[in-house]
DNA sequence: TTGAAAGCGCTAACAC
DNA sequence: GTGTTAGCGCTTTCAA
């Protein structure tokens, strides 16, 4: 528990020199350096980041805001963020908002109180007004979900195009009646994916049936089951489902298995996200793969750049259609 | 970006008074309090945790060490930790070691450098020697996995008993040939669960067949598939599988589905952990539910107690057998 | 190349 | 009830 003073005394130098050995070793003579390093070792000295951070007015902590860590979609993104952060001597504060505004405020307070140097927001339900306000003073990046008119830099994929390709894939397979399991359209990605869905149908002259468009409140397994029940109760059933989330699609798959509907023969299903689990289901799930790890590394790099006063440009990453057993 | 000095000046009081308004509002007169609060508002002042933390020699950050956030087993534990931490004004630094000793060292350095006040370790592969060394100086709690002779407090479940009950359940269903998908026995939980497995077999006079005991290196989906292939290639096949991890069991399920083996009629499967996904599979998975959220809250409370100099006792929480469709 | 000293923003002991 | 002041551990400017 020695501090820099004790090290300085033991080595017979000033604290400034100890600090130099730690931070710019090349400006001190090898001889002094050796003395200091010796003292450090003998005293088992570990520099305190509390002192350093106060002096440098930084925390070297990055806030990562996710709606829920239960959603595997975020896992690889987080891994990417963490790797980039570590590479640049930052650490991440992973914050789960649970779409709870109070929690969100607690986390926002961390940056106001200088406990975090910046924010990567991935929460579609984030209070965008507060975020905009904060972005005037602090470094903020939006990852995956973003608000167009916020002026806050973002990294994402082309959701409209991805949805378009997914639906086109179903149409080419011969499907004409295609359901859409969508999220609440207050979210940008939901609107964009719906547009892609409609563009594909229109391009092939297929009618848009409103009964086939199900809006779910949550992107989870149970919502997928429920949405499936609703379309299976229609007298005119679709033959394929495009779901904007793998979790929803897994629910659909489960309901098909339960009721004995054969996938993909009687019902084709396509998901979105390529969560790890989508390859473990029976049958495996066709899905849109987002470059999640890369979304994470890019977001982290952008944020760190911004924290250091740099300028940053919006980025659109590529996606990919993974054709597996469910279509 | 005002600091405490500016607030004091604006309010016409000393910095000490400002600090008091912030930390023990009841010791200042309502009049001064009002003046200070007014100044705070006008200046948009936010107290800096950097200054406060240095002064208090604390970071109010708790390090949470997990092998991988991909394993859903840890998700609810983390949620529990986070809730308890927030309730007591702490935040968590979620650290994924990926069983990489270098990463682990980076994270350990965080506590050595005072960036974290303590550690909750859930990594079975943690370097226990380093952990023991650190525990002399810093607050550490082991959660779920622990080392018996480390003297580091832990919270966990009775793994032997849980495994015993799982296997007994299979035996009562009439199974006599039961495979064990286990983890590497260098881990305590693996040894304990194997003991429970053997105790159940012995109690019912069933022979122990070494061919039925598969050791997997990783607790993941692919290992589950591989283990299943191995037992299905035996000329004398078991009729049931007890897997020490749901992820492994999900792999087994998938392989059964692929090869057309009916679950549970031709092969019963039981998992361990009750990860969210175990209820989404086809068929749903019988499993041992650990009280994960509670493991998290208890671990966090123990750690905070220890950080504050308190004494803490080891805790064993209850588990539960969840019988679903796979048995 | 090195040292002295100021100061990052805060809390708390002490004095009044 | 409030103010003065020292100091938490560090970095960096300035001077030597």
From CA A168, how far away is CA A327, in angstroms rounded? 12
Q: Where are the alpha helices (DSSP H) in B64-187?
A: 73-87, 101-112, 128-135, 159-172
pLDDT of A99 strictly over 90: no
Q: What per-residue confidence (pLDDT) applies to B99?
A: 84
For the CA of B58 and the C1' of D13, the distance in angstroms is 29
pLDDT of A63 strictly over 90: yes
Q: Are B282 and B263 in contact (CB under 8 A)?
A: no
As a CATH number, domain B61-157+292-317 is 3.40.50.2300
| Alpha-carbon distance A88 to nearest alpha carbon in chain B (angstroms) | 12
DSSP 3-state of B177: coil
Q: What's the whole-number average pLDDT of chain A?
A: 97
For the CA of A74 and the C1' of C4, the distance in angstroms is 51
- Closest partner CB to B46 (pick from A54, A82, A112): A112
* pLDDT (mean) for A98-113: 96
Structure token pair of residue B93: 């630094």
What are the pLDDT digits (tens) for B66-87?
A: 999 998 999 999 999 999 999 9
DSSP assignment of B253-316 equals HHHHHHHT--TTTT-EEEEEE--GGGGTSSSPPEEEEP-HHHHHHHHHHHHHHHHTT-----EE
pTM for this one? 0.95
State which residue has its Cα closest to the C1' atom of C6: A55
Residues 159-218, chain B, touching A (beta carbon < 8 A) = none
pLDDT of A149 strictly over 90: no
Q: Are A172 and A184 in contact (CB under 8 A)?
A: no
Q: Categorize the per-residue pLDDT at A84 as very low, low, confident or very high, splitting at 50, 70 and 90.
A: very high
Q: Categorize the per-residue pLDDT at B149 as very low, low, confident or very high, splitting at 50, 70 and 90.
A: confident
Same fold, A4-47 and A159-289: no
More confident residue, A71 or A200: A200
Structure token pair of residue B276: 């969210």
- For residue B180, what is the enclosing H or E element? strand B178-183
pLDDT of B148 strictly over 90: no
Q: Categorize the per-residue pLDDT at A279 as very low, low, confident or very high, splitting at 50, 70 and 90.
A: very high
What are the pLDDT digits (tens) for A243-275?
A: 999 999 999 999 999 999 999 999 999 999 999
Q: Are A229 and A255 in contact (CB under 8 A)?
A: yes
* pLDDT (mean) for A228-249: 97
Q: What per-residue confidence (pLDDT) applies to A148?
A: 86
pLDDT of A1 strictly over 90: no
* Strand pairing class (A320-322; A286-289): antiparallel
Strand C bases within 7 angstroms of protein beta carbons: 1-13
Q: Would you state the CATH architecture of domain A4-47?
A: Orthogonal Bundle (1.10)
DSSP 3-state of A27: helix
What are the pLDDT digits (tens) for B114-127?
A: 999 999 999 999 99
Determine how many CB atoms are found less than 10 A away from the CB of residue B20. 18
| Alpha-carbon distance A325 to nearest alpha carbon in chain B (angstroms) | 11
Domain residue extents for chain B: 4-47, 61-157+292-317, 159-289
Burial (CB count within 10 angstroms: exposed 0-12, middle 13-18, buried 19+), residue B129:
exposed
Chain B residue numbers touching A115 (CB-CB < 8 A): 49-50, 91
From CA B158, how far away is CA B47, in angstroms rounded? 45
Give the residue from A61, A48, A52 showing the smallest Cα distance to A111: A61
Interface probe for B, chosen from A85, A102, A282 (most Cβ of B below 10 Å), is A282
**CATH classification of B159-289, choosing from 1.25.40.10, 3.40.50.410, 2.60.40.1120, 3.40.50.2300?**
3.40.50.2300
Q: What per-residue confidence (pLDDT) applies to B1?
A: 80
């Amino acid at each position: 528990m020695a501090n820099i003073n004790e090290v300085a005394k033991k080595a017979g130098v000033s604290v400034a020199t100890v600090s130099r050995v730690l931070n710019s070793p090349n400006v001190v003579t090898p001889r002094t350096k050796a003395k200091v390093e010796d003292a450090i070792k003998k005293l088992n000295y570990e520099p305190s980041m509390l002192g350093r951070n106060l002096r440098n007015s930084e925390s070297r902590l990055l806030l990562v805001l996710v709606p829920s860590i239960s959603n595997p979609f975020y896992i690889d993104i987080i891994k990417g963020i963490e790797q980039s952060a570590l590479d640049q001597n930052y650490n991440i504060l992973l914050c789960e908002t649970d779409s709870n505004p109070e929690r969100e405020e607690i986390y926002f307070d961390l940056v106001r109180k200088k406990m975090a140097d910046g924010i990567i927001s991935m929460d579609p339900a984030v209070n965008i007004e507060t975020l905009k306000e904060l972005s005037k003073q602090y470094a903020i990046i939006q990852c995956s979900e973003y608000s167009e008119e916020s002026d806050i830099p973002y990294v994402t994929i082309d959701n409209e195009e991805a949805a378009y390709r997914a639906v086109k894939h179903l149409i080419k397979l011969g499907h004409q009646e295609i359901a859409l399991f969508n999220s609440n359209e207050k979210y940008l990605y939901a609107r964009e994916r719906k547009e892609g869905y409609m563009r594909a149908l229109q391009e092939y002259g297929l009618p848009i049936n409103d009964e086939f468009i199900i809006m779910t409140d949550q992107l989870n397994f149970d919502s997928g089951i429920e949405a499936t029940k609703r379309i299976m109760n229609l007298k005119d059933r679709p033959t394929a489902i495009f779901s904007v989330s793998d979790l929803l699609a897994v629910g659909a798959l489960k309901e098909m298995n339960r009721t004995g509907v054969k996938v993909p023969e009687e019902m084709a299903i396509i998901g979105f996200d390529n969560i790890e689990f989508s390859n473990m289901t029976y049958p495996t799930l066709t899905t849109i793969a987002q470059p999640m790890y890369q979304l994470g590394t890019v977001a982290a790099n952008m944020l760190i750049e911004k924290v250091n006063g740099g300028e940053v440009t919006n980025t659109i990453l590529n996606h990919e259609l993974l054709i597996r057993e469910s279509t």
